[in-house]
Amino acid sequence: MCRAKKLTLMFVTLVFLIASLCQSASAIELSPRASLYLNGYGAGIYPGTSKGSVRIDFTVTATTYSDYVGVSELIIYKSSGTRVATITGTVANGLLREDDAVHLGHYTYYGEPGGKYYAKLTMYAERDGGSDSREYLTTTCTAPS
């Protein structure tokens, strides 16, 4: 009787072990890579150093060295949702960086003192003729009066 219980317990344990291994394998197979070009990104908006200004800081990390990495478009909105500025990213204005894997940058917008603003950034990476982008929305910030 004791031997039968041991065999039953071993059989049940083996079944649970095999079932848990099968679940782990299927979970790994079902998680595709998020992007071939972008590894991570983030941004924040902060009061600037002069009246009416806000500073947008951003970080974009590509999966490897890329032709371009950074912000391809930056749109500034009032808290009401009214668009007040659209900036296309270039190497010259500092929103894009050439031949690198990471870009940490910032952009300062000069608006109305006491104005409340938020930003939508298009995070971007381009390599060998292919590219990917993701949109990122900041919180709202009040410009100094």
Distance set, CA 103 to CA 4, 38, 99, 136 (Å):
65, 12, 10, 15
Q: What is the pLDDT of residue 109?
A: 98
Q: Which residue has the tokens 């993701």?
A: 134
For residue 105, give the nearest of 58, 140, 37 by alpha carbon.
58
Query: Rounded distance, CA 66 to CA 36, Å?
Result: 11
Q: What is the mean pLDDT of each run of 10 residues along the chain (145 residues)?
A: 64 55 39 73 96 97 96 98 98 98 97 98 96 96 97
Cα angle 59, 48, 46; round to 5: 45
**What local confidence, expressed as pLDDT, does residue 3 receive?**
72
Q: How far is the C-alpha of 65 from the C-alpha of 43, rounded, in Å?
A: 21
Indicate the CATH number of 38-142 among 3.20.20.70, 3.40.309.10, 2.160.10.10, 2.60.40.10: 2.60.40.10
pTM: 0.76
Would you kindly state where each structural domain of the chain is located, as residue ranges? 1-32, 38-142
- pLDDT of 28 reads 33
Phi, psi (deg, nearest 5) at residue 51:
-55, 130
